[in-house]
Amino acid sequence: MTVVEGPSSWAVERFGPSLAVELWKRVPAALRRAVERAMDARDASEMTTDHPFGSVRWLVQYEELLTHLQDLPETTSIHPPGAQFRITICAGHLLLPWCYASREDARLEQAVPNRRLSQTIRDLLLLFGPKPPYEQEPLPMMPTVPDDDTLAELREAIEGSAAEPRVLLIGYACNSDQGLLRLSWGEAALSRDNLLHWEHVDDLPLSSA
């Protein structure tokens, strides 16, 4: 993985120099802590499967992002309708964590949305993400498009906290034996044929500077 020296010009453009540096340091710390908590849960369960690891990691990733970032300027959170977590909003960006792989060599921009990408993130990408350059008809057995009422309720809740929000995906690879393996963030459009079209991806350090 490429050594990351500091936030890119892309990140500075979106958050400003000071906030970009803080996010560059705190986001990796938050996701590392989330993975550590999930590993502790698996060890404490004494189970031979990864079920405790996955279920705990899925929830605490949102908790740790909010815990690590909540004192930053222009930062708030929102509880999406029906969700079990709060989404952190920083400088008008919805920060959405996504565990996309369990191998270090898996790159975010090559990841294919699957069951790891929650329906809430899919809905937010459809509502507030970039528009895909093209779309094809959904393939058989692909997830269905949410109904208009569901999207309308989610849009109302988000826009009450952030006017014209942008979606920032924070993708990471991890597993229950090695912990956090790779971390990136970027902007992508989700097409209705279940493909991500990336506009930009940056690697993040695995630990803060």
Query: pLDDT tens, 29-75?
Result: 999 999 999 999 999 999 888 899 999 999 999 999 999 999 999 99
Band (133; pLDDT cuts 50, 70, 90): confident
Q: Which tokens hold the place of 132? A: 């895909």
Output the pLDDT for position 148. 75
- Beta strands in 17-113, from DSSP E residues, in sequence order: 75-78, 87-90, 93-101
Output the pLDDT for position 114. 85
Band (134; pLDDT cuts 50, 70, 90): low
Long-range contacts of 17-26 (CB under 8 A, 24+ apart): 19/72, 19/73, 19/74, 19/90, 19/91, 22/72, 23/69, 23/72, 23/90, 24/204, 24/205, 24/208, 24/209, 25/208, 25/209, 26/68, 26/69, 26/72, 26/208
Q: Are 85 and 34 in contact (CB under 8 A)?
A: no
Give 15: exposed, middle or buried? Use CB within 10 Å, 0-12, 13-18, 19+. Answer: buried
Residue boundaries of the structural domains of the chain: 9-144+155-203
- Entry pTM: 0.89
